[in-house]
Amino acid sequence: MPIIKKDAPIPERNIVMVLYGVPSSGKTSVAVTAENPVLIDTDRGYDRAIKRVDTLTASNWEDIQNSIEDLKGYKTIIVDTAKAMLDDYLWDYTQRLDSRLVRNQMKHFGAIADMFKQFISKIRSFGADLIFICHDKQGGDDVVTHEPDCTGSSKNLLNRMADQEGYVFIDQTDNKRKIAFGINGTLVTKDTAGLGTVEIPDATTQPEDFNTCMQVIIAQTKAAIVGHSENNEAYFKAIDKLHEVSSVDEANEMLKLTKTLAKNFQIPFFTLAMAELAKKGFEFSAEAKAFVDKNASEDKKPSKAAKKDAESNEVKADGKAVDKSNPS
């Protein structure tokens, strides 16, 4: 396969999501609000979801394997639950294929992981998104922790494969259902898209919003991934311009360029710019709030007007001015 250049745009791709929570938290109900879904039910719980969708009931891995071509045409494949697929169906199937695996758990899980990845690749080849649903496994002593209910190896595999991993819960402060994707010390989560905590619309009072809830979340996730690519591209182009700087005026243009970057790139770029430009003889003056040519005579250093112009181009992050003499 060809090398993907660092500044090349990344096309939109299908995603993998993991949702987990306690019984009746609404995991399956919100998952089936994705676009054109089909449910692979290994938990005999398809009839508990608020919205009925096309469903494949599976009792073993062969049921899924023999019907996989029937999944073509659906936009979202939902597996309920991931534990049954990984820890029960695939565990049993791989062991029946090679009875020697029962004596080597490491090789056994390796065989499971290979078949699981093949399943994901097959679904992606259909152009479909994947949602894996898990029950909640609680732990901890003084502080209750939550994680997807799978064996350790399966849980780690799911986390590696997922773009988003969220805990579905009912917020006791407002009695609303939510999905926590963001970093939380008591939850296992993953938030590639930076969605944080998402409120699930009420199915009774907000039926139109509820019926497209997961479709919107998946669209936001895909847009964020593509956005990361676009932001990366702008950052690398800015670095290319930084390497071309040959005058103090061009050095100060880097201040304006910094402001055009995504906020999470502004401080790293400015830090890099100060180091790179210092090698070329352009040092940042905290007093002038501009780059100055350390080899220039006093009359060539920035005037008061230039200083005022530099102040108007002050680099900011999260709405606060950054002290460029100490950008960290």
pLDDT in tens, the chain (328 residues): 678 776 666 778 899 999 999 999 999 999 999 999 999 999 887 777 888 999 999 999 999 999 999 999 999 999 999 999 999 999 999 999 999 998 998 999 999 999 999 999 999 999 999 999 999 999 988 889 999 999 878 888 999 999 999 999 999 999 999 999 998 889 999 998 889 999 999 999 999 999 999 999 999 998 888 777 777 778 888 988 999 999 999 999 999 999 998 877 788 788 888 888 988 999 999 888 899 998 875 555 555 555 555 555 555 444 444 444 444 4
Q: Under CATH, which number does the domain 16-224 receive?
A: 3.40.50
For residue 141, with 0-12 CB atoms within 10 Å meaning exposed, 13-18 middle and 19 or more buried, which class applies?
exposed
DSSP conformation letters of 210-235 = HHTHHHHHHHHHHHHHHHHHHHHHHH
Tell me the C-alpha to C-alpha distance, in Å, between residue 4 and each of 7, 11, 111. 8, 11, 30
Q: Where are the domains of the chain?
A: 16-224, 244-321
